[in-house]
Amino acid sequence: MRFFESAARVLRPAARVAMGLVIAALAAGAPLVLRADDKAPPQAKKTAAVKETTAVQKSAVQKTPLIPRDVLFGNPDKAALRISHDGKHVSFLAPVNGVLNVWVAPADKPDEAKPVTKDTKRGIRSYFWPYTNKHILYIQDKDGDENWHVYRVDLGTLETTDLTPLPKIAAQIDTVSHRNPTEIVVGLNDRDETYHDLHLVNLETGERKLLQKNTEFAGFLVDEDYRVRFGLRYEPDGTTTLHQKTGDAEWKQYMKIPQEDTLTTSPSGFDRSGLVMYMIDSRGRDTSAMTTIDLRDGKQAIVARHDKADVSAALMHPTENTLQAVSFEYTRTEWTILDAAVQADFKYLRTVAAGDIQVTSRTLDDKIWTVAFLMDNGPVRYYVYDRAAKKAKFLFTNRKALEEVKLEKMHPVVIPTRDGLSMVSYLTLPKGSDSDADGRPDKPVPLVLNVHGGPWSRDNWGLDPEHQWLADRGYAVLSVNYRGSTGFGKKFLNSAAKEWAGKMHDDLIDAVDWAVKEKIADGQRVAIMGGSYGGYATLVGLTFTPDKFTCGVDIVGPSNLLTLLSTIPPYWKPVLQMFKDRVGDPETDEGRKLLNERSPLSYVDKIQRPLLIAQGANDPRVKQAEADQIVKAMKEKKIPVCYVLYPDEGHGFARPENRMSFYAVTEAFLAQHLGGKFEPVGDDFQGSTITVPTGAEEVPGLKEALKK
């Protein structure tokens, strides 16, 4: 699992309420090529070459040690380092009996850390220190249903309390302020499942008090005095409007954001006075810039911008609310320093370790920072940094076992599309394949095209466990920021409007063709794999371009865009217009026609190549029916498919036991069809809830492993 660190007091575009189909914990013989006149079931034949390759694979397992799956996909040893606001304690995530929990230690004695939470099933993945300094807050759902609750841990008694003990809610932590340390603002959709009302929640007593009733807005902007200042609404014409609160129940439209800017423009906070609003803004330019708006006279000024990349994050002073640095990410993270007070800090930190710098927390007096360094071929390194002494003390890496393992470099590459766009992509090559270290293998190798979810998300540089896993097994791995990916300006983002299975798929084909032309990939051994939108892209690959890929792995991917959009969670309805504009409108004849034409389910009979489908039964975004219906259609047409289903998972696989089993199945599946190495299942099904409703016989060793 990769833990993405966020800068302390980070500003991010509030309008990025996109599909969010990004999965935690997923990243994921000779080819079986069918002749046009071959009518046999696509997975029914095995050539002698495949059988011979499989024998070689089994032999290779004995001769060449592979990186164990649990080293890459199991729980980290320690992760998510934070320091309390008073600087007296540090905290991190680490396993307790195999389940991630929060640990706390005196700041000067980190080795004395003890667990303070008691999760025994899914593990805690998101937590933080409130300003009381005597509590830990975290969010948790049940079996992946995304009905989030907010939990408080009293560090004195170690008692855990659900601060949102309500049925069928998806709680959101909205605002936390040092000016009111004993209260936080939480969004709750208990009154109306579509809209989140804002409540003040007392951390000491658990008392909730209504702050703002919501009947129309997708989100609010609240200042540090817990005053609701603005509401954001998606309009039927595709624009978004920002409304300023002028009275107890009065709102005045303050700003109208054009449709082309809705995913790259949003308010992000206020300065200390509350009179200046920070705004990430792409209006009048391609990439979004960090700007300020004086709310007294409306004057706007650009603070930082980048010609190729949108604002990625911003670092703010803990109490002064001044912008100190802004990051942009084209191929890698670049920091623009705005405040001379942190110039020397960043200069020093660049000497501490290689990798991209992430400030993960800061004390309220700003004397101590915790810092993570993200590498591409090594584990995340965590430090406690004393600003006055200009000294960073190393605490730990997130995966100690990776410190002694040779990992492969991730190469940023920019791939052109057929219509002149540039796709920032990341390539990792198989171990030992690049003798001159020029980022190109000595000869073409099998390739896995690993497609990110979202689609309004992006792939990043850094240690990617799936890249390392697949490279270790003998495959090149290519992750492509196809059009619609975020961070590269609005032209690139908007060029994906209503291009699902259209130009977005063309981009993936262009990337594969580029890899073949560059002699990176063996064009006869290319797999496509991904989660969420990446799973959809996999299904599109095997139906729209059935001869292009040797096999595919679909993880929680939608198969029918009509049913996908008709079953979204109720609390997504305030942003439904965005889906209509960018995917297709299920409420019009023209829109339904487009959605049907872009749905892989409509072309099941085109599938010729092996397919593995994995799904969580509790997924609220891409419901189990999306997998069920395409599996059913394939079975009716006697097209083989292996379907892996987890009854206690949602949109991705959070439990490490389930991840282990999924990657074990996928590894055997890819080895069978691409000819790479594989690690036997061994004990990787132990503790997993894996079920295989159909097609266990399609993956070598799967039926036997299920019997254990």
| Structure tokens that stand for 63 in this block | 């001769």
Q: Do the strands 476-480 and 422-428 form a parallel or antiparallel pair, or are they unpaired?
A: antiparallel
CA dihedral 208, 209, 214, 220 (to 10 degrees): -90
Strand order in the sheet with 195-202: 172-176, 183-192, 195-202, 208-212
In angstroms, what is the C-alpha Rg of the chain? 25
| Structure tokens that stand for 671 in this block | 């080895």
| Residues in CB range of 311: below 8 A, 6 or more apart | 13, 280, 288, 289, 290, 304, 305, 326, 327, 328
Closest C-alpha among 406, 346, 409, 341 to residue 373: 346
**In degrees, to the nearest 5, what angle opens at C-alpha 346 toward C-alphas 345 and 348?**
65
Q: What are phi and psi of 167, to 5 degrees?
A: -80, 150
Q: Are 361 and 369 in contact (CB under 8 A)?
A: yes
**In degrees, to the nearest 5, what angle opens at C-alpha 371 toward C-alphas 8 and 73?**
100
In the set 266, 268, 361, 532, the catalytic residue is 532
Helix (H, G, I), strand (E, B), or coil: what is residue 170?
Answer: coil
Q: Are 614 and 659 in contact (CB under 8 A)?
A: no
In the set 119, 459, 619, 684, the catalytic residue is 619
**In degrees, to the nearest 5, what angle opens at C-alpha 25 toward C-alphas 23 and 31?**
85
Q: Tell me whether residue 141 is one of the annotated catalytic residues.
A: no
Closest C-alpha among 382, 373, 470, 389 to residue 671: 470
Q: Furthest-apart CA pair in the chain: how many Å?
A: 77
Helix (H, G, I), strand (E, B), or coil: what is residue 41?
Answer: coil
What is each CA distance from 75 to 88, 124, 217, 513, in whole angstroms?
27, 11, 38, 36
Q: How does DSSP assign 194-262, residue by residue?
A: TEEEEEEEETTT--EEEEE--SS-SEEEE-TT--EEEEEEE-TTS-EEEEEE-SSS-EEEEEEE-GGGT
Q: Tell me whether residue 619 is one of the annotated catalytic residues.
A: yes
In the set 85, 89, 411, 651, the catalytic residue is 651
Q: Are 218 and 224 in contact (CB under 8 A)?
A: no
Give me the residue label for tokens 């002064």: 320
Cis preceding linkage at 42, omega within 30: no
Helix (H, G, I), strand (E, B), or coil: what is residue 673?
Answer: helix
Q: Tell me whether residue 178 is one of the annotated catalytic residues.
A: no
Rounded Cα gap, residues 377 and 66, in angstroms: 16
Q: Are 456 and 18 in contact (CB under 8 A)?
A: yes
Catalytic positions: 532, 619, 651
